[in-house]
Chain A
């Protein structure tokens, strides 16, 4: 499951809307081992394309050095689909190489209502996971026993 603050969801959706019809992309970093997305880092789509996204290689190096120096990892890696549903494409799956990351997809094909979904992508296998949007991590339940079953 991805548990994520509402302001971070809003920031991803705003970025996706802003760059539409090109794909938008970025990372939400968090402390290593925490699985808690905290620091929103929108990235430039070097491909500037409605069907492809790619972090610029210089930006990528800077991003990872910066995260390393803060003991952070990319907890969320997000990008938008601007004409299709929020499900990983074959290209998304072939490139996915952060087995611990939540891959978040935002679809902006509907101008009014966005679609946001989250996946694990490990060794080419896609597993969708629930997204729990919270106002604050401080008051959020963390233990599986504390979370009521949802219908």
Chain B
């Protein structure tokens, strides 16, 4: 199943500057593994100790995956996955 993944500026070094890339998978975890296979280094920027890194927000279509199963969030053919760095600080 193919999904479109939007890549934020800071991670585009891993995609040759591309803003959007295609990936495959039935869950977010599978999509990230598939991204890693084609764009090495991305997974480590997104996943830490088996969960999503707290510095990034990931959305499937309009939904923050933190409220939809995290890495186990389901993705369907044609879905849009958006990765955004959290904007936060102290």
A88→B89 CA distance, assembly (Å): 9
Among the 9-residue stretches A13-21, A90-98, A109-117, the one with 4 or more Cβ atoms under 8 Å from chain B is: A90-98
Interface size class for chain A?
20 to 34
- Nearest-neighbour CB distance to chain B for A89, whole angstroms, equals 4
Inter-subunit contact B57/A91 (CB<8 Å): no
Known pairs A57-B66, A61-B62, A61-B82; A94 contacts B87 (CB<8 A): no
Question: CB distance A97 to B89 under 8 Å?
Answer: no
Alpha-carbon distance A57/B64, docked complex (angstroms): 7
| A residues near B64, Cβ cutoff 8 Å | 57-58, 61
Q: What's the minimum C-beta distance from B85 to chain A, rounded to whole angstroms? A: 4
CB B60 to nearest CB in A, in angstroms, measures 11
**A89 with B9: in contact, given A57-B57, A61-B57, A95-B55 (CB under 8 Å)?**
no
Q: Is the CB of B89 within 8 A of A98?
A: no
Asked whether A52 and B66 contact (CB < 8 A) given A98-B10, A99-B9, the answer is no
| Residues 78-108 of A contacting B (Cβ, < 8 Å) | 79, 88-92, 94-100
A1 to B90, CA, bound (A): 24
User: How many of B's residues come within 8 Å of A, CB to CB?
Assistant: 17
User: Does B76 make an interface contact (CB < 8 A)?
Assistant: no
Give the contacting residue for B87; candidates A51, A52, A55; CB below 8 A: A55
Q: Can you name the residue of chain A whose Cβ is closest to the Cβ of B87?
A: A55
Is there a chain A Cβ closer than 8 Å to B21's Cβ? no
Residue of A nearest to B86 (CB): A95
15 A-B contacts (beta carbon < 8 Å): A25-B87, A27-B87, A51-B90, A54-B88, A55-B87, A57-B57, A58-B64, A60-B57, A61-B64, A64-B82, A90-B90, A91-B88, A95-B87, A97-B8, A97-B55
Sample of 13 further A-B pairs with CB below 8 A, known A91-B88, A91-B89: A25-B87, A27-B87, A52-B89, A55-B86, A58-B64, A60-B87, A61-B57, A61-B64, A61-B84, A92-B90, A95-B85, A95-B88, A100-B9
